[in-house]
């Protein structure tokens, strides 16, 4: 049985994927920003899956210090992880900036996943046939330095697209540097029937299950084990090309240099 952590799993496809993996008897770690909600979801999944190995972590991913604290807690309490699904994401938000003055989508959708993954790397390295699934999007747009650092303002859809490309660029870089871990970026499907899509667009194209099925498949199916460092586009139902910047070593290097300077502040 696998040990699995899914971020942003108190609702949407994160929660449904956690339930599906729990039903297989895996140990599943839930994450959310509200302790009450995390506890309720743990209880709900335990009952629905008849599986008691459901635990949780609480952190507001718009607060990078909270992410660092959660990562430290995981290192202390979890001996190994076989699967990490970086699912936590935000599109619409009442506040555009984090307490650190960063764009909230850049922080939650990219920087939080970066910090968490890089910090708990020793725990992931102890896993068996470890996989990391990073939730990208069909929306990917060239990352601007000012947007990354919080100094330039763009609209929600633009900063969302930049955050998802940043995550994809780092995903490819991580895969190259950690050959024993299978790391895949995925667009789980455009406009799935989730709270995020409803808030952002007021409509959906496909059921949430479409996203759940691909996350589950990427996490456990043997057919994906030789696809590290790639991008799966679930709108097409196949591996596909991400934005050209994701294959540009100079742009990736610049992104990571900036990322390191932002999070070390």
When pLDDT is cut at 50, 70 and 90, the band that residue 39 belongs to is very high
pLDDT above 90: percentage of residues in the chain: 85
Per-residue model confidence (pLDDT) at position 207: 56
Which residues, at least 6 apart from 122, have a Cβ–Cβ distance to it below 8 Å? 75
Q: What is the mean pLDDT of residues 76-94?
A: 95
Which residues, at least 6 apart from 45, have a Cβ–Cβ distance to it below 8 Å? 15, 18, 19, 22, 28, 30, 51, 54
Catalytic residue among 91, 110, 114, 160: 160
Per-residue model confidence (pLDDT) at position 265: 77
Output Rg (C-alpha) for the chain, integer angstroms: 17
Residue 215: is its pLDDT beyond 50? yes
What is the rounded average pLDDT for all residues in the chain?
Answer: 93
Residue 254: is its pLDDT beyond 70? yes
Per-residue model confidence (pLDDT) at position 201: 46
Place of tokens 């992931």: 124
Per-residue model confidence (pLDDT) at position 21: 97
What is the C-alpha to C-alpha distance for residues 95 and 120, in angstroms, rounded to an integer? 29
What is the C-alpha to C-alpha distance for residues 142 and 90, in angstroms, rounded to an integer? 18
Assigned CATH for 3-263:
3.40.50.720
Q: Tens of pLDDT along 97-154?
A: 999 999 999 999 999 999 999 999 999 999 999 999 999 999 999 999 999 999 999 9
Which tokens belong to 49? 């899956």
What is the C-alpha to C-alpha distance for residues 183 and 135, in angstroms, rounded to an integer? 11
- Has 160 been annotated as catalytic? yes
Q: What is the mean pLDDT of residues 205-221?
A: 81
Per-residue model confidence (pLDDT) at position 211: 77
Residue 210: is its pLDDT beyond 80? no
What is the C-alpha to C-alpha distance for residues 22 and 50, in angstroms, rounded to an integer? 8
Higher pLDDT, 69 or 207: 69
């Amino acid at each position: 049985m696998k040990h699995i952590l899914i971020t942003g799993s108190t609702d949407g496809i994160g929660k449904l994927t956690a339930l599906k993996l729990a039903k297989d008897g895996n140990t599943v770690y839930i994450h959310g920003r509200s302790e009450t909600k995390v506890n309720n979801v743990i209880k709900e999944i335990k009952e629905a899956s008849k599986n008691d190995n459901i635990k949780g972590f609480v952190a507001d991913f718009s607060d990078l210090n909270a992410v660092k604290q959660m990562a430290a807690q995981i290192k202390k309490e979890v001996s190994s992880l076989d699967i990490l699904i970086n699912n936590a994401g935000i599109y619409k938000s009442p506040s555009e900036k984090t307490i650190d003055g960063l764009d909230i989508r850049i922080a939650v959708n990219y920087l939080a996943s970066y910090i968490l993954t890089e910090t708990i790397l020793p725990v992931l390295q102890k896993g068996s046939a470890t996989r990391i699934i990073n939730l990208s999007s069909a929306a990917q747009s060239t990352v601007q330095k000012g947007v990354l650092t919080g100094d330039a303002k763009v609209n929600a859809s633009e900063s969302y697209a930049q955050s998802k490309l940043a995550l994809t660029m780092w995903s490819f870089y991580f895969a190259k540097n950690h050959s024993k871990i299978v790391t895949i970026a995925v667009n789980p499907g455009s406009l799935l029937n989730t709270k995020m899509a409803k808030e952002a667009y007021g409509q959906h194209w496909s059921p949430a299950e479409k996203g759940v099925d691909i996350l589950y498949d990427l996490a456990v199916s043997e057919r994906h084990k030789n696809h590290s460092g790639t991008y799966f586009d679930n709108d097409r139902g196949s591996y596909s090309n991400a934005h050209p910047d994701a294959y540009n070593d100079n742009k990736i290097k610049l992104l990571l240099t900036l990322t390191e300077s932002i999070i070390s502040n």
